[in-house]
Each structure stands twice: as structure tokens, then as C-alpha cells.
Amino acid sequence: MSSNSSVLADSSEPAAIVINLMSTFGAVMVGSFLSAILWGISTFQVYLYFMTYYDSDSWKMKALVGSHPDYHRTYQTDQSIKIAFLWACDTANEVLIIKANFRVPILNWGDVSGINNQQLELMDHTVTEALVIILVQGWFIRRIYLFNKGRWYMALLMFVLSCWLMIGTIVYLIFGYGRFISTLSTQREVALNMTLRAAAVVVDIAIAVNMIYLLRAQNSVLFKSSRRMVNRILLLSVNSSFVTAVFATTTLILLASQPQNLYYCIPELSLCTVYFSSLLANLNARNYIRGEQNTINTFSSINFHTGGISLQTLPRQQSTNGGSLTQGTKGSTMVIGVETSTAVKSDVTAFDQEESFATTKHDIV
């Protein structure tokens, strides 16, 4: 009798509802995990940036940069503030992504009706994402403008395409914000979303192509040291644009192939951090691009004599750029040989190009 009652009790319980959410919330969850990992990497890059350039980059900020007599320092100041601002935007973007994963599976667990509702945090994140992408692409476009010696037409075209990211995002939100999640799969919303991703891909590829063309043109007339720096800028710029273009292209392909699902969110949620990291990679590599080396020589006692320098002890010695050190026993003389170079008449043209390049290289790197 008791067994029959238990069977009746079990049969009275409602059947469990099994729903496969991989194409929607599952894709968003995977994308948020990837985004969180990349955010941690970019935060570490920010730490490296301020540890390396904190002493040289003053915190006194000008509202606009351009006419200040100490342009380089003022530019570096503006750069530091931009990095702090971009990191704040990237962090806010990550908070919005994580919060979107809590509403349905955590805060409203068991409420099946919430599955069809739009997660507003994911819509809000598109604004911060567009802002960061525009600022980062603008930094690379400015590089091209400087290398192109003020010829603005190509830079303007890329900047207009980049600005469409923000304009198109606003239009996208006007038609889709606060509605059912199925609204994002309508033809109008998908078309708008695809134009945003396509614009990002085109700008990234255009940046890489222009940098290759302009830097290769500079390479033939510069001195060896500057050619080395140009090659390093070229390698870093192409790699940075390649990574961002791969993420943006993958997003575009997934959106075009499966517009009814949210698989495109897997790479899309990381776009903000990927673009920010590409900028940080270029800034943190400035010393490498310039060919600077951190060499330290510690001497316990240095006595200056006429005609040379006598070093009594040499606890540590490292090689230096452009010179050679010869160390003997204690109390001996260390001979320092310094390489020098002279310019001849045949180098006049190259020197003019070198001087022109030197006026912009601080702004570029």
C-alpha cells in the first residue's frame, strides 16, 4: 500500500523541462569566459605599461595636445590618461558581460520565461566596445597620417569607416534595445550588425596594408638604425592588425552563417579587450622598437686621470650598444672604445629623409 502511494506521489510531480541553450546562453557563457581571460591579460599589460613608463609620463594633463612647447612629454601625458580611460572602459565592458550571465541562470533560476527576454547588459556592452575600438583604430590611423606626411584622404576614409561603428551601434540599439531576443535575429538587425563587423574588418586590413606600403617606402632611404626601427614597427603593426582582423572576421562569418543563433558572441564579446591589448602591445614595445637596451654597470670606485679613466674594481659588467669594454685585473685600466660615424656627400639625401623621419618617430612610437 505504501509503495503504491509513493508511485502515485511520484507520478503527480511535473515532468522536468529540458531545454538546450547552447546556441544562446551557452555561446554567451563561452564568450564571457574567453573575454575574462583576455581582460586579465590586458590588465597585466596595463601594469607593465605604467611600471615601465611611469617616470617618463607625467600625470599633469593638458586638455588638448598640439601647441605645447614640450610636445613629446605632453603627448606621453595624454597617452597615459588615454590608457587609464581605455582600461576603465574595458573593465566596465567586462562587468556588463559577466552580469548578463547572472540574470537568467543564477538570479532567476527556473523562470523559463526569462529565456526569451533580452539581456540588456549585452546591449549596453556594444557601446563601450564600439568606443574602445574607435579610439584604438584612431591611434593606428594617426600613425598612418604621420607616416603619410599629412596626406589626409586615406586616413579620413578609414576614420569615417571606424566612426560607423558607433553610429551603427546607436541605430542597432534604437531598433533592438529592450525587445525580445528574437528581435536580434530579424533581417534589419542582422544586416546592421554585419555592417558593423565588416567595417571593423575593412579598417583593420586597410591599416595593415597602409603601414606595409608606407614603411617599406621609408626603408629604402633611411640609415641602418632607423631601418631597423621601421622594420620593428612594421612587424608589430601587422601582427596587431592581423589579430584584431581575425577576431572581427570570425564574428562576421558566424553572424552571416547562423544569424538565428548567438554563436557569433563567442569572439564578439572579446573584441573590446583584443583591440585594447593590441594598442598596449604597441605601446609596451616602444623601447624595443627604438632599439634601447637596459644596461647597468656598477663600479665601486672610479678615478679620473688625464687621458683616461681608471677603474679599480668592476663587480659587474654588461655589454653596451655601440661600444666595447675590456676588463683586466683589479687596479688595471678599462679601455672604452666608442664607435663613431661620419656622413659624406652621398648620404645627404638619406640624412634629409632621416631628419624628417626623426621629427615624427617620437609621435609614432
Q: What is the pLDDT of residues 205-237, one digit of tens each?
A: 999 888 888 877 766 655 566 667 777 777 777
Q: Provide block-wise average pLDDT over 10 residues at a time, the chain (365 residues).
A: 50 64 85 95 92 60 36 58 92 94 73 72 93 94 83 88 94 87 84 94 92 75 65 77 92 93 93 94 78 42 38 43 44 43 38 41 49
pLDDT of residue 229: 74
* pLDDT value, residue 283: 85
Write down the pLDDT at residue 287: 72
Q: What's the pLDDT at 12?
A: 60
Rg (CA), the chain: 28
For the segment 337-361, what is each residue's pLDDT rounded down to a tens digit?
444 444 433 333 433 443 444 444 4
Q: State the Cα–Cα distance between residues 309 and 334, nearest whole angstrom.
A: 7
Contact 226, 290 (CB under 8 A): no
C-alpha cell of 171?
541605430
Beta carbons of 164 and 133 less than 8 angstroms apart: no
Q: Go through the domains of the chain in sequence order and give each one's CATH number.
A: 22-290 (1.20.1070), 302-364 (no CATH)
CA nearest neighbour of 43 among 87, 97, 92, 99: 87
Buried b (16+ CB within 10 A) or exposed e, 262-286: bbbbbbbbbbbbbbbbbbbbbbbbb
Smallest CA-to-CA distance from 73 within 84, 87, 60 is with 60
pLDDT, position 113: 66
Burial per residue of 35-54, b for 16 or more beta-carbon CB atoms within 10 angstroms, e otherwise? beebbeebbebbeebeeebe
Q: How far apart are the first and last CA of the chain?
A: 85
> Could you give the CA distance from residue 27 to residue 19 in angstroms, rounded to a whole number?
14
From CA 53, how far away is CA 280, in angstroms rounded?
A: 12
pLDDT tens by residue, 50-99: 888 765 544 433 332 333 444 445 455 567 788 999 999 999 999 999 99
Query: From CA 86, how far away is CA 100, in angstroms rounded?
Result: 21
pTM: 0.72
- Cβ-in-10-Å burial (0-12, 13-18, 19+) of 250 comes to middle
Parallel, antiparallel, or unpaired: how do β-strands 308-311 and 302-305 relate? antiparallel
- Whole-number pLDDT of residue 154: 86
Looking at the DSSP bridge assignments, the partners of residue 61 are none
Q: CB–CB of 214/276 below 8 Å?
A: no
| CA proximity to 33, closest of 97, 81, 78, 96 | 97
Single out the residue of 279, 138, 252, 143 nearest to residue 203, CA to CA: 138
The CA–CA distances, whole Å, from 365 to 67, 139, 216 equal 19, 11, 17
The pLDDT score that the predictor gives to residue 180 is 78
